[in-house]
Structures are given as structure tokens and as C-alpha cells.
């Protein structure tokens, strides 16, 4: 029983290691968003909330979050959560909504004015801001 538990823990650790399973991450945006690749990190840590007259609506992708945080935001999940807790307390800003995967993020970004998110495969019908 103990050996089985240790095996599951080891498999879990390998599966969640972004350095072993890191793939491409594509930041996508609603057609009305004109954010540059240089602004993406600021959007996802709540420092950039408006693009011209459009309120930005960042969306996290649960399936790609570890890779995105490592490559773009340059923090781990615990630090990201901490950043948003402080931002929420200090500025009253809510963290990005978390979507379950690429299809949910693409659909939400397309239908949300100001929508910006990230996926693991470049969609043909959505604006791609940057590939990481």
C-alpha cells in the first residue's frame, strides 16, 4: 500500500513538472484587444487593466497554467495566488477567471469584449498575440 502511494506521488510530481512537460503557450485575444506581447505579464498580474477604452478580461487556462506562469509571468502557482491576494486586498481587483482548457478559453475570449487568455495550440480564428 505504501509503495503504491509513493508511486502515485512520484507520477504526480512528474506530471506536474513544467520543465519536463513544457509545451508551447499561445496568448490569444478578442479581436478588439490591441495588447502587445510586452504587456501580457502586466495584464495577468493586474497591472494593466485597460486597453484604450476597453476593459481587459484576462482568463487563466487550468490545463496550461503551470507553463504560462513559468514562461510568461515568471512565478509559480503559489506566488501567483499570493500576488492576486495582495492585489485584491490592496486594489479590490479580482484574479482572472479560470477556464478548464483550450476550448473554453477560446470560446470565452471570442465572445468577451476585452478577453485575453492562453492556450496550448494556436487557434485559426482568434488573434494570437504571442507564442511562448
pLDDT over 70 percentage in the chain: 83
- Start-end of H helices in the chain: 2-16, 18-21, 40-44, 65-68, 77-91, 102-111
Strands 57-61 and 115-119, by their bridges, are parallel
Per-residue pLDDT tens digits for 58-80: 999 999 999 999 999 999 999 99
Q: Does any domain span residue 15?
A: no
Q: Is residue 56 part of a domain?
A: yes
The total number of structural domains in the chain stands at 1
- 6 within domain boundaries: no
Say if 77 falls within a structural domain. yes
Residue 65 lies in a domain: yes
Query: Considering the entire predicted model, what is its pTM?
Result: 0.82
CATH of the domain at 62: 3.40.190.10
Expressed as residue numbers, the domain containing 83 is: 22-131
Q: For residue 16, is it within any domain?
A: no
Any domain includes 4: no
Amino acid at each position: 500500500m505504501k509503495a503504491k502511494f509513493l508511486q502515485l506521488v512520484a507520477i504526480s510530481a512528474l506530471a506536474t513538472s513544467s520543465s519536463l512537460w513544457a509545451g508551447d503557450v499561445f496568448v490569444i485575444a478578442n479581436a478588439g484587444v490591441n495588447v502587445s506581447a510586452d504587456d501580457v505579464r502586466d495584464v495577468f498580474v493586474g497591472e494593466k487593466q485597460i486597453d484604450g477604452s476597453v476593459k481587459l478580461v484576462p482568463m487563466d487556462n487550468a490545463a496550461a497554467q503551470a507553463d504560462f506562469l513559468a514562461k510568461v509571468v515568471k512565478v509559480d502557482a503559489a506566488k501567483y495566488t499570493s500576488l492576486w491576494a495582495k492585489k485584491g486586498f490592496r486594489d479590490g481587483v479580482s484574479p482572472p477567471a479560470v477556464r478548464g482548457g483550450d476550448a473554453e478559453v477560446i470560446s470565452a475570449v471570442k465572445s468577451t469584449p476585452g478577453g485575453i487568455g492562453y492556450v496550448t495550440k494556436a487557434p485559426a480564428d482568434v488573434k494570437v498575440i504571442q507564442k511562448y
